[in-house]
Amino acid sequence: KNEVEQSPQNLTAQEGEFITINCSYSVGISALHWLQQHPGGGIVSLFMLSSGKKKHGRLIATINIQEKHSSLHITASHPRDSAVYICAAPTGNQFYFGTGTSLTVIP
């Protein structure tokens, strides 16, 4: 049983396409994190959100706490967006991670 489920696992898109990555979680949380991991390993925090929507450049994250669901959208995707995107749900002293969505954007 995974506390955090992501879909899709793999995603290939043409440059310019609108991309959506979904995250569902079963644990009670007050905030959800979206992380980005580029080839080579480094992980960067993109968003931490507890309600509604946040936007940063071409990235938009939404969350519905009641439905325990979050989405990460990328508008006008670019090859440099190619990375693994991970959602993470903190609860108590634990962090539950999804297994990640591997995104490849083709020029």
Partner 1 sequence: DVKVTQSSRYLVKRTGEKVFLECVQDMDHENMFWYRQDPGLGLRLIYFSYDVKMKEKGDIPEGYSVSREKKERFSLILESASTNQTSMYLCASSDSGRGSYNEQFFGPGTRLTVL
Residues binding partner 1 (CB under 8 A): 30-31, 33, 35, 40-45, 48, 86, 88, 90, 92-95, 97-100
Which amino acid type is present at position 83? A
Least distance to partner 1 from the beta carbon of 107, Å? 26
Least distance to partner 1 from the beta carbon of 101, Å? 11
| CB nearer to partner 1: pick between 50 and 75 | 50
Q: Quick one: which of 19, 29, 24 has its CA closest to 51? A: 29
| CB nearer to partner 1: pick between 13 and 48 | 48
| CB nearer to partner 1: pick between 40 and 57 | 40
Which amino acid type is present at position 85? Y
Residue 103 phi, psi (nearest 5): -105, 130
Least distance to partner 1 from the beta carbon of 81, Å? 19
| Backbone dihedral region for residue 14 (phi beyond 0: left; psi -120 to 50: alpha; all else: beta) | beta
Distance, in Å, from the CA atom of 73 to the CA atom of 56, rounded to the nearest integer, reads 11
| CB nearer to partner 1: pick between 18 and 95 | 95
